[in-house]
Structure 1
Amino acid sequence: MDFIKEIPAIKWKDGNFQKVKEHTVGDENIYFFIDNLMPRKFSTYPTHLDDFAVGYCLGEGLIKTADDIESIDIEDNRVIIKTKFNHIPEEDFETDSILQERKGDGQHVCACRLLEYQGVMSDSAGGWRSELKNIQVNDSDLTIDASQIIKDMERLTDKAEVWQATGSVHVAQLVYKGEYITREDVSRHVAVDKVIGAAAKKGYDLSQCYVGYSGRMPADMLIKVVRVGIPILISNAAPAGSGYEIADKANITMVGFVRGNRFNLYTAPERVNLNQ
């Protein structure tokens, strides 16, 4: 596998120890240059960077569809992204209702405000995520069987090849009409960005997709799925209070602690067939 490193370690067990070789991932700093905006730095497992670029721009509200990206050029640790909107730092992005009113006037507006460095928050993995200014309620009619949630989490573990080799990454998968996209990264956010980007490139209807991943569910993760319109988020870990509040307001079905043959269902329970 790409970017797997071997490192020395001392393994201790029951009072005995020995020198061993362990595997880890070679994470790197990646810089996004999106139109004329300030560069953005991420610590990432540097694979599927084109998927990451698309998913990140969607999750930040910088584009509406994958077709809004004109080009993605990858030069070593630099990812240069050109969109048809030619964003500049001074732009003031507005709401969808205003977008409808101003269609055709030649001026780009968007569903969120532009990332401003005084108005962003860290995703805890070396990147920046903008805050959500408006919460749009998700009215997707997608449903999933309870038993499928368990099967999908088992599949997530089985397909986590880099995690199995190193334990150093998170894994995410997106499911759409029985088709799966799986990606791994040192950042749970980037892993999810990658599956969203890959799905958008394939033209999947994100309102009929759901995402499962490893890691907690705080506000900055829920913001991403709210923006792109994904109705169900599943994790083997816990929700944060901030994540719960956004999921509840946006009618996102949030499922946590999927372990063995159990899970907790926190919000929008109507999308889960509990008897199936």
Structure 2
Amino acid sequence: MDFLRQTDVIQWKDGEYSTIKENSVDDEYTYLFIDYLPPRKFSTYPKDLEDFAIGYCLGEGLIKDYTDIDSIKLDGTNVLVTTKLSHDPEEDLEQDGIVQERKGNCEHACVCRLLEYNGVNSDNAGGIRSEMKTIEPNMSDLTIDATQIIKDIKHLTDEAKIWQKTAGVHVAQLKYGDKIIIREDVSRHVAVDKVIGAAARQGYDFAKSYISYSGRMPADMLIKVIRVGIPIIISNAAPASSGIDVATMGNITMVGFVRDNRFTIFTAPERVNLEK
């Protein structure tokens, strides 16, 4: 199912107008329930929601590895995630002011400090970035040819089937050797979460993987790739200064403005073979 909707619209072009049918994305709200944390609400293109849940948990630091997840259940567009990680319920819930929930003899609380990573908080779920303190630099020796960057963005566009029909979604692509995963979503964050989640399920080595996607590159997007250990991020769009700062601290290679036959490297240029 493509989750597309056709609407009769009036199109004006060169002084003439006509009634045509236009495709649009039939986006829906998705609620993500992780253990006993408060539910989180997202507007999504409601496909590949299990991949999204895994990638979100990894990117937000709620799990360290795919194996930390016990189960994922889908109820329509509601996603229920149970992890193996929990702190002492009394301690965690007293600090967060959340009412404790009990099932038999089992007490379950929120997993590790929400959105916390070395003093940097992600803001793509409504949180607020805190002052940056320390981020462990990514030491991956992965490299990519300059010409490959151009090819990757072209491949991204060629395979963005929902975008081609609607121009209403973002698309993300994760490449690991000769393996490629592509996902689309109305949210650039969710699109990236989906490819990260799918790669985690398939056991890809993130230190040897990189992401190409459509969308800006602010700090919260860079924090996501830093957490999972991806060393290179490529976009046809611009970075934000906050993203450049985080990429510099995390030794992430950030490539932007990939258009036609050009691009701009903002950080860690040593991973790009400029002569190829």
Q: 1:91 to 1:260 in 2, by over 3 A?
A: farther
Q: CA deviation at 1:138?
A: 0.5
Any conservation in 1 of the 2:123–2:129 contact (CA below 8 Å)? Answer: no
Q: Which residue type is aligned with residue 11 of structure 1?
A: Q
3-state SS of the aligned residue for 2:184? strand
> SS of 2:254's equivalent?
strand
Residue 251 to residue 115, structure 1, CA distance change in 2 (3 Å)? closer
Asked if residue 90 in structure 1 is aligned to residue 90 in structure 2, the reply is: no
Q: Who is 1:187 aligned against? A: 187
Q: 2:227 maps to what in 1?
A: 227
User: Residue 154 of structure 1 corresponds to which residue in structure 2?
Assistant: 154
Provide Cα deviations, 1:123-171, integer angstroms capped at 9, x if missing partner. Answer: 3xxx446747642211100000000101111100010000001111000
Residue identity matched to 2:245: E
Distance (Å, rounded) in 2 between the aligned partners of 1:77 and 1:130: 26
**Conserved 8 A contact 2:33-2:78:** yes
TM-score of the aligned structures, taking structure 2 as reference length = 0.87
Tell me how far apart the structure 1 counterparts of residues 217 and 57 of structure 2 sit (CA, whole Å).
20
Which residue does 1:263 correspond to in 2? 263
The 5 A counterparts of 1:70-219 are: 70-86=70-86, 90=93, 113-115=113-115, 122-123=123-124, 127-128=125-126, 131=129, 134-219=134-219
For this pair of structures, how many residues does the alignment match?
256
Where does residue 49 of structure 1 map in the other structure?
49
Q: Is the 8 A contact 2:28 2:44 kept in 1?
A: yes
- The equivalent residue for 2:99 is none
Instruction: Percent identity, please.
Output: 61
| Structure 2 letter corresponding to 1:231 | P
Q: Give the superposition deviation at 1:122.
A: 4.7
Where does structure 1 differ by over 6 angstroms across 4 or more consecutive aligned residues? none
User: Counterpart of 1:213 in structure 2: which amino acid?
Assistant: Y
- 2:12 is paired with a residue whose SS is strand
Distance 1:115 1:266, change over 3 A: closer
1:5: how far off? 0.7
**Cα offset for 1:86?**
3.8
1:44 & 1:75 partners in 2: Cα distance?
15
Contact 2:62-2:111 within 8 A present in 1 as well = no
Letter in 2 for 1:256: G
User: Are 2:58 and 2:227, in contact at CA under 8 Å, matched by a contact in 1?
Assistant: yes
2:24 paired with 1:21: no
Aligned to 1:58: 58
TM normalised by structure 1 equals 0.87
CA deviations over 1:5-63 (Å, ceiling 9, x no partner): 10121111122111111001110000011001000000000000000000000000000
Asked whether the equivalents of residues 60 and 122 of structure 2 are also in contact (C-alpha less than 8 Å), the reply is: no
Gaps of 5+ in 1: 93-107
Aligned residue for 1:98? none
> Which secondary structure state, in structure 1, belongs to the residue aligned with residue 93 of structure 2?
coil
Cα root mean square deviation, aligned: 2.3
Match of residue 100 from structure 2: none
Q: Give the distance between the partners of 1:154 and 1:91, measured in 2 at CA.
A: 51
User: What letter is aligned with 1:268?
Assistant: A
Aligned equivalents of 2:5 and 2:178: distance in 1?
Answer: 34
Distance 1:208 1:4, change over 3 A: same
